[in-house]
Copies of this chain bind each other. A is one copy, B any other.
Amino acid sequence: MNKVDIQEKLSLFGDHWNPRIVGELNGQHVKLVKFQGEFVWHKHDQEDELFFVVQGQFRMEFRDSVVELKKNEFLIVPKGVEHRPVAETEVSVMLFEPAATLNTGDATSELTRTHLESL
């Protein structure tokens, strides 16, 4: 029975848009990821996705609105809703989502990560 120290896990990587798996339960993954810059527009047809800000801030863009998120805030993006995370400066985010979730959803790009490292 091992606990997970978020800050310790975040210290193990520095690249952006490349989620690491740090926990699994009930078919869901807990992931840590660092964002900087603009991601690709995409949606997940089958999965709701939770973004919890551990450090820093970013904005989630939707086709008709924007949500600004900072440390200790989370946002749930429902399945089927197009979104794009944008971070002016580096932000560390914890994700909760089904294990099957692909980071770029329906939008395959050079940012797509099909094999995630477990930390």
> Which A residues are within 8 Å of any B CB, using their own CB?
1-7, 23-26, 28, 30, 47-50, 54, 60, 62, 65, 67, 69, 72-78, 81, 96-98
Within 8 Å CB of A3, what residues of B? Answer: 67, 69, 73-75
Interface of A is mostly: strand
| Copies of this subunit | 2
B23 contacts A50, C-beta separation under 8 Å? yes
B28 contacts A26, C-beta separation under 8 Å? yes
Given contacts A25-B96, A28-B26, contact A5 B48 (CB under 8 A): no
Within 8 Å CB of A54, what residues of B? Answer: 72
A26 contacts B48, C-beta separation under 8 Å? yes
Q: Whole-angstrom distance from the CB of A31 to the nearest CB of chain B?
A: 12
Q: In the bound complex, what is the Cα–Cα distance between A108 and B94 (angstroms)?
A: 33
Given contacts A1-B62, A1-B65, contact A74 B6 (CB under 8 A): yes
